[in-house]
Structure 1
Amino acid sequence: MQHPSATALLRILYSLRWFAVGGQSLTIAWAVLGLDMALPTLALWSSVLLLAGFNLVVYVRLLQVRDATPAEAFVHVLVDTAVLAWLIAWTGGIANPFASLFLLPIALTAMALPQAWAIATATACVLGYLLAISFGQPLPHLHDHFDLHLVGMAVNFFLSVALVSWFLVRLAAARDRRERELASLRERFVRNEGILALATHAASVAHELNTPLGTMTLLLDDLDTSRLGADGADDVATLRRLVDICRDRVRSLADPADPAATTLVGIDRVLEHWQLVRPAIVLARSGNVDAGQRVDRAIGHLLLALLNNAADASEGNGSQRVDLHLQLDHGLLDCTIRDYGTGFDAQVPFLPVLFRSGKPDGLGVGLALSHAAIEQLGGELEMDEADGGGARVRFRVPLRLPARQSAETTL
């Protein structure tokens, strides 16, 4: 089974191993050249080279693996423990001031791996320590360097404190990051459950609405617009377009597998439909996106939801204006919608929660669905205060158009 902390442990052991290779090399060179101690240099240098070679293999492995297993991490710890036991055995055994470094692998695995693997590591370290002191080779003239032994004990203590503290900080950061990821996944799962229930209910309601919408279409066709005058005829034409839009939306809800429900839509058509529903709102548009630009239907729904929220916010503050900026750059659609409402409450963190709305008559669906749509499209959503009052919502999504369509709409 994969374990996130095991991967973090592998990376930390990789860094510590290079530190050990450098420290051991300097110590051996200083003892032999500086202190003129008769050490088994062949045995010591062979362990250093073995550790360096193993770490090169680990480097290649870390480039390939995303999630390691506790068993793999235990094998790495076992190699380090064996090398440590070899070094301790050739440099004084129990008299070596660095013999307490056997405690370091135990502390690391106890924090990073499941209990069974931590116990296995402790057992391996105890065996390594017993073998090192049992077969340890005493250093010649060690009694002449007792002060050096005390210095070694002090260095070992401070080194152990530094390494354990550094590891615990790294591991705590990895754990906190994993907990944040899990919390985000749980939040997304709960929201997706609500959206799934909403979609199921919407499909059912769509079937129920199809009949009355068909009846409304027949009644509108039977109206004698000649008796209504010019204004009345325009109103009937507007109603007919609105009913047609409703029937198209209901049809796509009732049968989401219909190819027509997944085709591209033009931004001009999306904005035209929105202006039919919100004729009192003045939409100030800017940017380099052509009116004929076609986008995924989900982006069209997202744009409608955010425009409706902006219109509601502006009307709630006595304004009839909404600003829309659309920018297309290398296949990335950058959309900014600014309203002229009261803005966000700086004291209340904004979280799009399904079925919980900040508007008196709102259902809390628009922004929650917008947030979910952004995640599905692989984009990002930002919300902040606008200069001069109101709020600004910005989303960036890749268009993911077919090659032919992309060629036709490149700006």
Structure 2
Amino acid sequence: MVRPRPPGGLRRGEVRAAADDQGGPPDAVISNASIQDTANRRNLRLLVQLRWVAVGGQLATIAAVHLLMDIPLDLPAMLAILVLLAGWNLFSQLRLRSGRTISQNELFLGLLVDVAALTAQLYLSGGAVNPFVSLFLLQVMLGAVLLDLPRAAALGAVATAAFIGLMYYSRPLVPPAQQDAAFLRLHIQGALVCFVLAAALSLFFVTRITRNLRERDERLATLRQEAAEQDHILRLGLLAAGAAHELGTPLATLSVILNDWRRLPFFRRDQEAAQELAVMETQLDRCKGIVSGILLSSGELRGEGTVRTHVRAFLDETIGAWRAQRTPRAFAWNNRVEPDAPVFSDAAFKQVLANILDNALEASPGWIGAEARRVEDRLVIEVRDDGPGFSAEMLAEVGKPYRSSKGRPGSGLGLFLVFNVMRKLGGQVTVGNRDEGGARVVLSLPLSALTPRSAP
């Protein structure tokens, strides 16, 4: 008896492969563009946060300089720039909520707005002699991290041009009572504050942006790996379909020969030979069924060869057919799916169950167990055995082709196909070892992946 656990829980030493961690439909194809859009969306959200920090910091700095240091500033113009910057930030937030694609051009435009606002504020407060002029470097650094090379270079050129312009055109800050020494000291203190602020913002935001980009690259690498696996499966499918077509003729010939043998007097007299002939006919029918299943499974449409049934009947029929063919010594099957639901008799999922059960039987000829249950809208099937279990090396590379402990050429494709079929169906495969010894494989997939669209 298996104690039910939450679908999200994993025991120590288990490995799970998820089909679609983005929450999309099982057969959704995630493109490079969508991954880039996700990264751009996260980065734009960080820029919005940084811009709010900039608005608050500039407001506090203006108040400190004007009220505490008694340095006259053009308050209406500087506050108007802050209002415009805050308005642009509100527009960016609405843009994020719209769900539309975020492009590199939008990030580039946002950074240009930040550079323009900083240039205007510096123009009104001393120009190039303002200690906060080094904040241009923060904008250029953000552009180097977020943008491609042409846009980052353009942003750097704009910031450089703005700095050069501020060297010649600006409104000077007049020190109170012409206290040059005191004003120089304030300039140095301002430079220190600017350095600390730029360092803190760089550490916080650039680190988060880099993490977003790293996650994007990891996701792209995963997609490339999945594409390579799908290509491998396609080649295997074509090879299997071709072999099935080629085997059709010799199997038909053997069937005709066996039928002719059955009418021979020798087989009528010799009961032992007749029994062996019956066994040969049974095995031949099994081979023909396997070939027919391969040809049927090669169809791309879900409606080809599928039969409408219910979960419990589908599982009992699949397990019963496997049990009749393999005749395991001890097999514990517990079908606890409640409530029942209409599904397709899916040939691919049947093969998944057969592969898992075959692996368990080969590892543990003495006993295997299987249990099916329903957890909300998901079908969960657990297969257990009393064999040696999975090694640490196997768990680290589970689901990859030709990773097997059997040591035979070509082995290791069973679990590889299981993982890929479950990914296509939108399901998950959890592989691990039992506490009492042996291996356990848990299949979990949404019932919608097997449910007829017109079913109530």
TM-score, normalised by the number of residues in structure 2: 0.79
> For 2:211, which of 161, 173, 183 is the aligned residue?
173
Are 1:330 and 2:376 matched, yes or no?
yes
> For 1:286, which of 329, 334, 357 is the aligned residue?
334
Paired AA for residue 80 in structure 1: D
Which stretch shows the higher mean deviation, 27-36 or 111-120? 27-36
Deviations along 1:373-406, one digit per CA (max 9) or x if unpaired, are 011011111111112111111121112212554x
Distance 1:195 1:243 in 2: 22
- CA offset at residue 45 of structure 1? 0.7
- CA offset at residue 72 of structure 1? 2.2
- CA offset at residue 294 of structure 1? 4.2
Distance 1:271 1:167 in 2: 55
Are 1:358 and 2:399 matched, yes or no?
no
Deviations along 1:180-226, one digit per CA (max 9) or x if unpaired, are 21221222122112111111111111112223333455566664898
- CA offset at residue 239 of structure 1? 4.4
Are 1:396 and 2:444 matched, yes or no?
yes
Are 1:305 and 2:391 matched, yes or no?
no
Distance 1:104 1:91 in 2: 19
- CA offset at residue 350 of structure 1? 2.7
Q: Secondary structure at the match of 1:261?
A: coil
Q: Which residue pairs with 1:195 in the alignment?
A: 233
Q: Secondary structure at the match of 2:189?
A: helix
Distance 1:82 1:403 in 2: 55
Deviations along 1:27-64, one digit per CA (max 9) or x if unpaired, are 22233333443221101111111111100111122234
- CA offset at residue 257 of structure 1? 5.5
> For 2:55, which of 21, 27, 30 is the aligned residue?
21
Contact 1:245 1:273 in 2 (8 A): no
Which stretch shows the higher mean deviation, 245-254 or 323-332? 245-254
Deviations along 1:58-106, one digit per CA (max 9) or x if unpaired, are 1122234576333222211111001001101111222211011111111
Paired AA for residue 223 in structure 2: L
Contact 1:267 1:292 in 2 (8 A): no
The runs of 5 or more residues in structure 1 that have no matched partner are none
TM-score, normalised by the number of residues in structure 1: 0.87
Mapping for residues 215-230 of structure 1, pairs under 5 Å:
215-218=253-256, 223=262, 228=271
The runs of 5 or more residues in structure 2 that have no matched partner are 1-31
Deviations along 1:146-197, one digit per CA (max 9) or x if unpaired, are 4332221111011111222223322331232122212212221221121111
Contact 1:206 1:250 in 2 (8 A): yes
Would the alpha carbon gap of residues 254 and 53 (structure 1) be closer, same or farther in structure 2, given more than 3 Å must change? closer
Distance 1:184 1:69 in 2: 22
Would the alpha carbon gap of residues 134 and 18 (structure 1) be closer, same or farther in structure 2, given more than 3 Å must change? same
Distance 1:195 1:232 in 2: 38
- What is the root-mean-square deviation of aligned Cα atoms in Å? 3.1
> For 1:246, which of 290, 294, 302 is the aligned residue?
290
Contact 2:308 2:343 in 1 (8 A): yes
Q: Which residue pairs with 1:92 in the alignment?
A: 126
Would the alpha carbon gap of residues 190 and 247 (structure 1) be closer, same or farther in structure 2, given more than 3 Å must change? closer
Contact 1:334 1:394 in 2 (8 A): yes
Which stretch shows the higher mean deviation, 210-219 or 129-138? 210-219
Contact 2:140 2:156 in 1 (8 A): yes
Q: Secondary structure at the match of 1:396?
A: strand
- CA offset at residue 242 of structure 1? 3.0
Q: Secondary structure at the match of 2:150?
A: helix
Distance 1:183 1:62 in 2: 26
Contact 1:220 1:240 in 2 (8 A): no
Paired AA for residue 413 in structure 2: V
Which stretch shows the higher mean deviation, 351-360 or 203-212? 351-360
Distance 1:13 1:351 in 2: 40
